[in-house]
Structure 1
Amino acid sequence: MRWRILAFFSFSAFSSGADVPEDGQISSEVAKVLVDTVAREEIPGIFGAITSSEGVIALCSAGVRKFGADVPLKSSDLVHLGSCTKAMTAAVIARLVVEGELRWETTLIEALPETKGAIAPGFHRISLWELLTHRAGVPANAVDWWSYGDLPILERRVALLTKALKRPAPHQRGEYKYSNLGYMIAGCMAERATGKAWEFLIKDRLFTPLGMMSAGFGAPGRIGQVDQPWGHVRAGKNWRASQSDNAPALGPAGRAHCSMSDWAKFLRCYLPEGPDIRLNAEARRKLVTPSGTYAGGWVIGKRAWSKGTVFTHSGSNTMWYATVWVAPSLDRAFSVATNSCNERSHAICDQVIGKLIQIDQRAH
């Protein structure tokens, strides 16, 4: 396949009250950036969006759903969010805190008392907030995420955390060490508090209230069909398409998918005058108040272009890559996703984010 034929693209601009040129100049510029990126980087496809608290300003895609299939991406297609799911899990837990089901200080042993004799004592008092900010000292991952596949999902997650925490903490409690396992454990605590699976909780507390009707779990699309984009990994000079994903047990740490427009609905919650997901002011502040530089599913920092604080995260299941930057002072969120992953993916997404920021700044 010659890469010049990958310049399929689609875009949509929504009249949401934002200052969008009537000729669609913003969307046209975003589309050109994406088309150029696909051609230059020789990737299967890419999505990009600019969002304000009032709605999506521009949403575009370029490339194909599957390498070798020549089926163009649509801007309404689903994307895999990887670890960008973590902010959603933290938001759901914030809802449960507001509802009185959990406390930020709830400890692992309080939530799951039956694990006390099975896990190392150093893990007994780790708190929900320490787990959500990667400061609980737990391992980065389960010993084997695919273990205990015969157990129901709630029991499977408890079995996985019990096995992973048998040995003393590999990291000092309070020290930042990124952990997918930590987010699964936080999900387990939410499951035990409510008696409901994380998958139900995130639909009930987040996806449905926000109208994220496309949201789901695992690889997008029907197996064997090109009805949605496939993920890709490098295979020599070409790409190998795959519909694989991480084990279901990892869900709270990174298995959500949705359309870019539905992702934007969630991102708007972190912008001024964004939608209400029934969080009080204290819970909203907590989610973006970091321990160090990490808060509730977000890396928190400052950038000159943002005129204040920014929230950012990236996610990948090793076949997709997604990146988002939220700038509340600008009332903007910039999001990018690729249906491929290699050593260049992080740089590609960040470069495109930078160009989206420049396009938005020129227009406003």
Structure 2
Amino acid sequence: MNNTGFGPPNLDDSSQQASGHYYNNASWHARKPSDGVYVPFVLGPAGRVNADLNSLAKYLMAHLEGSRGENNILEASSFQILHQAVDDGYAMGWGAFNVDWAKEKILTHGGSNTFWLAEWMIIPEENIAVMMIIINASGDNANQASGEILGLLINRYGTTQ
């Protein structure tokens, strides 16, 4: 994972990571790091980690392998602890629960600082990991669009039968 950090992405206005956006007066506007997009340090890592898509994919693949009992950056037993639900489908930052379209539990994870949002899913039994939603915007329009996209993806691909 090479292009990662803490705090909002694109702090140096490079083209390596996308700036956040917001919708106002019928148009989209780019957010700048000076627009107050920081999440307080005390809440970290929630909403404070940023990564490019390649790095997110590596992170997701490590968790997919771990969920299937394979060792990689951690021992498989550590992934088992991370992915084991401890309370109502919550497993140390991961959702771990059964759905009617999968034979075994699925894992979900996501993160947001209310300006950027990422949501992903792992289906261990099918050896599938999907970055479902990666969005650099906030507000009602962005939330509605991401919900509609997620619904379309689940309706189209959310079955292993």
Smaller-chain TM-score bracket: 0.7 to 0.9
Q: Which runs of 5+ in 1 are unaligned?
A: 1-211
Does the CA contact (< 8 Å) of 1:321 and 1:345 recur in 2? no
Q: Is the strand fraction higher in 1 or 2?
A: 2
Number of residue pairs the alignment of both structures matches: 150
1:300 to 91, 96, 116: 96
Task: Report the 3-state secondary structure (helix = DSSP H, G, I; strand = E; otherwise coil) of the residue aligned with 1:277.
Answer: coil
State the Cα distance separating 1:326 from its structure 2 match. Answer: 1.4
Structure with more relative contact order (C-alpha pairs < 8 Å, separation 6 or more): 1
Q: What is the match of residue 250 of structure 1?
A: 43
**CA gap 1:317/1:351 in 2 versus in 1, 3 angstroms:** same
Q: What is the match of residue 348 of structure 1?
A: 145
**CA gap 1:348/1:325 in 2 versus in 1, 3 angstroms:** farther
Does the CA contact (< 8 Å) of 1:268 and 1:275 recur in 2? no
Q: What TM-score, normalized to structure 1?
A: 0.37
1:319 to 115, 127, 148: 115
Task: Report the 3-state secondary structure (helix = DSSP H, G, I; strand = E; otherwise coil) of the residue aligned with 1:252.
Answer: coil
Task: Report the 3-state secondary structure (helix = DSSP H, G, I; strand = E; otherwise coil) of the residue aligned with 1:261.
Answer: helix
Pick the structure with greater CA Rg: 1
Q: Is the helix fraction higher in 1 or 2?
A: 1
State the Cα distance separating 1:307 from its structure 2 match. Answer: 3.1
Q: Percent identity?
A: 28
Query: Is 1:229 aligned with 2:6?
Result: no
State the Cα distance separating 1:348 from its structure 2 match. Answer: 2.8
Does the CA contact (< 8 Å) of 2:111 and 2:118 recur in 1? yes
Task: Report the 3-state secondary structure (helix = DSSP H, G, I; strand = E; otherwise coil) of the residue aligned with 1:307.
Answer: coil
1:259 to 49, 52, 57: 52
Aligned-pair RMSD on alpha carbons? 2.7
Q: What TM-score, normalized to structure 2?
A: 0.76
Query: Is 1:214 aligned with 2:41?
Result: no
Task: Report the 3-state secondary structure (helix = DSSP H, G, I; strand = E; otherwise coil) of the residue aligned with 2:92.
Answer: coil
CA distance in 1, matches of 2:96, 2:149: 20
Q: What is the match of residue 285 of structure 1?
A: 80
**What amino acid sits opposite 1:270 in the alignment?**
H
Does the CA contact (< 8 Å) of 1:231 and 1:340 recur in 2? yes
**CA gap 1:311/1:227 in 2 versus in 1, 3 angstroms:** closer
Q: Which runs of 5+ in 2 are unaligned?
A: none
**CA gap 1:294/1:347 in 2 versus in 1, 3 angstroms:** farther
